Structure 1
Amino acid sequence: MVPLTEIVTSAPGRVCLFGEHLDYLGLPVIAAAIGLRMQVMGGHTDGQEWIIDKPDLNEHDRFSGRGEVPYGLHGGGNFLRAAVNVLRREGVALPGGAHFHVRGNVPVQAGTSSSSALQVAWIAALLALAEDPRAGDAEAIARLAYVSEVHEFGHSGGVMDQYTSALGGLVRIDPARDNAVTRLPARLGAFVLGNSKEPKDTQGILSRLRRAAHGGAEQLRQRLGTFDWDQTPLAQAEELANGSDELAVTLGALRNRDLLEHGHRVLSREEPDHAELGRLLTAHHAVLRDALGISTPRIERMLEAALAAGALGGKINGSGGGGCMFAYAPDRPEDVA
């Protein structure tokens, strides 16, 4: 069915510079939008059915435009269906019929937030379809994308993906401060994104590490009498290291918390110290590899090759266990690629 209106929205994927596996602990993250995007095109029809075409994936979905839209609890295409229900609960007046096409060049299931970029573009399209005033509010779009992609399914992720995609640029997001967003002024050079094409279990990794981090935090709380993700000094916590896998994950989170603050200082200058930024990215990766155990031999080989070719630093990107890595190569991006 041909749409009676034509709406086009898009949203970028992202890389996480600092704060991998921190946002769901209430700690900040620093992330940047990338030049790869997901796009939604379409509009309302005079029917009572919604049709979503995904030619890149050779997928096609259709459902009744009346009442609650059914979906399972495993995500995927269900995120788009869930968004329709979430928006209607929020009072958004969506039509009974619509036809949309979804396309994009963000790598899928690779740690660059293709699903969140799509969810952000989808929410923006639906708000525009309903002529809702929130269609121009990036933070409202980010919140609704998070609710429909994560909260609606009881998943373990934080807000980094949706907020970075909706807001764009280089941002620091503070979940403990009601997801306050600080735009950082650093003018950065080129990043080289590499896809290992290894499949990854995002929700499994997030759930495992979240449980482990909270388990280690409870150990510290019992031994110290108090514990605070934001305030407990790393040195004090490290004195209690006992070989526990849970505590190792918690200590890794505290190390990455401190690396993020150092990275924030570097990125708060318009002309950052590029070599120091590269060093910090590599240090962050070392914690993700050694304490959290989320790198892979193929990712390690890719990072080693990038550094040997002139990159200043790099890390795995996303939840880990496969997917993408990136290298910071402001002077030699072609050689590194």
Structure 2
Amino acid sequence: MAPTFMVSAPGKAIVFGEHAAVYGKPAIAAAISLRSYLLVITLSKSQRTVQLNFRDIGLNHTWEIDNLPWDIFQQPSKKRSYYSVVDSLDPQFLEAIMPHAEAVSKHLPEKQRKIHIKSATAFLYLFLSLGSSKSPGFVYTLRSTIPIGAGLGSSASVCVCLSAALLLQIRALAGPHPDQPPDEAEMQIEHINRWAFVGELCIHGDPSGVDNTVSAGGKAVMFQRNASGPPSVIRLTKFPKLPLLLVDTQQQRSTATQVDKVKTLKANHPEITETILDGIGKIATSALELMSSAVPSGSGNSDALGHWGALIGMNHGFLVSLGVSHPRLERIRELVDYANIGWTKLTGAGGGGCAITLFRSGIEEQTIEELEQKFTTEGFQIHKTILGADGVGVLWPAVFRGTDGKACGEIDQTMFENADSVQGINQLVGVGAQENREGWGFWTRDLSTR
């Protein structure tokens, strides 16, 4: 049997340009070091089942492999190879999958069950597209350190994990390894990305493709919607790794509601709103130009870091003008400004969700700890993370490492499931905030490009 292995992929934060991106302005999104982790266990040949265990959302279901609709997926006229470019879902495939996807979580309330059905649909679509009716049984167990439903790309991270795991299982990927040629790594990242996008189609219907692109390749991208066709995407492979404080308001919000709010404002005050949206787009462009001339640094005195911070503040101000902030988001900004540790803006749709803070140079750890205590006291959830994180990675075999970094034995499903909270997951298998966890390998894009 194949050894137990694990794949991991990051979430993302929009650094510049949210809402303006809806109207064709450029935006920058970057990977963060909060990640999803997928443990893959191969069963004996006699065990003809596939189990999907998404621990953090309470989804756990087992299917009989021989009962899945392989005949539909393996029609010669429709069979997809692993390097296919799929930009839409096959209606016949979806129809064949739905009875199996809808078998999950029948005991749960309808709202929660719908989320489980979408997750199961994405998994089954990928499993049947890339797998084989003759494959052995598997157990796929997922844990995540990414807040769900907070605009941080958690579903894309999961889809990247599933895509990479399935491609590894059919041996369509090599590496990652230190001597891997950049063009080979680039091609393999794109294969992972393409199939992750298929999973996102199953979950969201009409995704932009940005979240899975950032999660697969890491670092950052600048993206811009076009009037027709897919958005243009510039991969920012030299995007710096910067320490970041991500604060979750714990305030539920609806992306659609916030988008509609800006739409209404634009209808009622078209000229002024367009000026604001254009300003947000120019901030993203300015940030890119700044990065091309002087890379911001999280340590030492960096003029570029200060310039970036100013752009972050202006971007947040524009978003406030559009009416998409929230008192909880403004409280985060107020506390950060009072402590004078950095620059803060909301990230994502707003109306709740999360805020990101880029630290100034030379801030003492005690000052940060005092601020974190204030956040905790007021009911915020804080995450220390890295902006510009690595993309999809593999731990093969999945080996537990002690505090000294030495291998202590294979990670089993029970150990993985019982890891308590974000801290427990990170201690057991996490890449960690510094992204230097021993044993993990990452596909890396050619860093000679922008």
CA distance in 2 between counterparts of 1:275 and 1:324 reads 22
2:316 corresponds to 1:285: yes
Counterpart position of 1:87: 126
2:157 corresponds to 1:117: yes
Q: 1:8-42 deviations in whole A, cap 9, x for unaligned? A: 10001122111213445454321221121110011
Deviation at 1:269, TM superposition (A): 3.2
Query: Conserved in 1, the CA contact under 8 Å of 2:31 and 2:214?
Result: yes
Alignment of 1:153-232 (within 5 A): 153=203, 155=205, 157-176=207-226, 179-183=232-236, 185-187=238-240, 189-206=242-259, 208=260, 212=263, 216=266
SS of 2:97 mapped into structure 1: coil
CA distance in 1 between counterparts of 2:312 and 2:318 reads 10
Deviation at 1:209, TM superposition (A): 6.0
CA distance in 2 between counterparts of 1:194 and 1:256 reads 22
Query: Conserved in 2, the CA contact under 8 Å of 1:159 and 1:175?
Result: no
One-letter amino acid of the structure 2 residue matched with residue 261 of structure 1 = T
One-letter amino acid of the structure 2 residue matched with residue 55 of structure 1 = R
SS of 2:32 mapped into structure 1: strand
2:191 pairs, out of 127, 130, 140, with: 140
CA distance in 2 between counterparts of 1:99 and 1:199 reads 32
2:103 corresponds to 1:69: no
SS of 2:307 mapped into structure 1: helix
One-letter amino acid of the structure 1 residue matched with residue 52 of structure 2 = I
SS of 2:15 mapped into structure 1: strand
Query: Conserved in 1, the CA contact under 8 Å of 2:245 and 2:357?
Result: yes
Deviation at 1:299, TM superposition (A): 0.8
1:243 pairs, out of 225, 250, 269, with: 269
Counterpart position of 1:309: 339
Q: 1:81-105 deviations in whole A, cap 9, x for unaligned? A: 2334543675654747321110121
CA distance in 1 between counterparts of 2:22 and 2:165 reads 27
The two structures, once aligned, show a CA RMSD in angstroms of 3.3
SS of 2:141 mapped into structure 1: strand
One-letter amino acid of the structure 2 residue matched with residue 87 of structure 1 = L
One-letter amino acid of the structure 1 residue matched with residue 165 of structure 2 = A
Report the CA distance shift for 1:140/1:78 in structure 2 as closer, same or farther (over 3 A): farther
CA distance in 1 between counterparts of 2:275 and 2:97 reads 43
SS of 1:321 mapped into structure 2: coil
Query: Conserved in 2, the CA contact under 8 Å of 1:155 and 1:203?
Result: no
Number of residues of Structure 1 aligned to a counterpart in Structure 2: 304
Counterpart position of 2:60: 60
One-letter amino acid of the structure 1 residue matched with residue 220 of structure 2 = L
Report the CA distance shift for 1:252/1:195 in structure 2 as closer, same or farther (over 3 A): same
CA distance in 1 between counterparts of 2:20 and 2:202 reads 21
CA distance in 2 between counterparts of 1:204 and 1:7 reads 40
Query: Conserved in 2, the CA contact under 8 Å of 1:24 and 1:156?
Result: no
Counterpart position of 2:138: 98
Query: Conserved in 2, the CA contact under 8 Å of 1:189 and 1:330?
Result: no
CA distance in 1 between counterparts of 2:352 and 2:138 reads 36
Structure 2 gaps of 5+ residues are 70-95, 103-110, 176-184, 297-303, 373-450
CA distance in 1 between counterparts of 2:57 and 2:204 reads 26
2:49 corresponds to 1:39: no
CA distance in 1 between counterparts of 2:261 and 2:128 reads 32
Q: 1:129-164 deviations in whole A, cap 9, x for unaligned? A: 232349962223223223322x33554542221111
The worse-fitting range, judged by mean Cα deviation, of 43-52 and 306-315 is 43-52
CA distance in 2 between counterparts of 1:319 and 1:32 reads 16
One-letter amino acid of the structure 1 residue matched with residue 255 of structure 2 = T
Deviation at 1:288, TM superposition (A): 1.9
CA distance in 1 between counterparts of 2:22 and 2:136 reads 36
CA distance in 2 between counterparts of 1:49 and 1:179 reads 41
SS of 2:238 mapped into structure 1: coil
Counterpart position of 1:51: 51
Counterpart position of 2:280: 256
Q: Normalising to structure 2: TM-score of the pair?
A: 0.59
SS of 1:320 mapped into structure 2: coil
Report the CA distance shift for 1:178/1:275 in structure 2 as closer, same or farther (over 3 A): same
Query: Conserved in 2, the CA contact under 8 Å of 1:30 and 1:260?
Result: yes
SS of 1:81 mapped into structure 2: helix
Deviation at 1:203, TM superposition (A): 4.8
Q: 1:196-241 deviations in whole A, cap 9, x for unaligned? A: 11122235545x368x28x95xx7xxxxxxxxxxxxxxxxxxxxxx
Query: Conserved in 1, the CA contact under 8 Å of 2:306 and 2:360?
Result: no
Q: Which has the higher contact order (CA 8 A, sep 6+)?
A: 2
One-letter amino acid of the structure 2 residue matched with residue 104 of structure 1 = S
Query: Conserved in 1, the CA contact under 8 Å of 2:280 and 2:318?
Result: yes
SS of 1:69 mapped into structure 2: helix
Query: Conserved in 1, the CA contact under 8 Å of 2:25 and 2:278?
Result: no
Query: Conserved in 1, the CA contact under 8 Å of 2:344 and 2:356?
Result: yes
Deviation at 1:119, TM superposition (A): 1.7
Deviation at 1:310, TM superposition (A): 1.8
CA distance in 2 between counterparts of 1:254 and 1:157 reads 23
CA distance in 1 between counterparts of 2:313 and 2:256 reads 25
Deviation at 1:174, TM superposition (A): 4.5
Report the CA distance shift for 1:82/1:333 in structure 2 as closer, same or farther (over 3 A): farther
Q: Normalising to structure 1: TM-score of the pair?
A: 0.77
Counterpart position of 1:131: 171
Q: Based on CA coordinates, which of the two structures has the bigger radius of gyration? A: 2
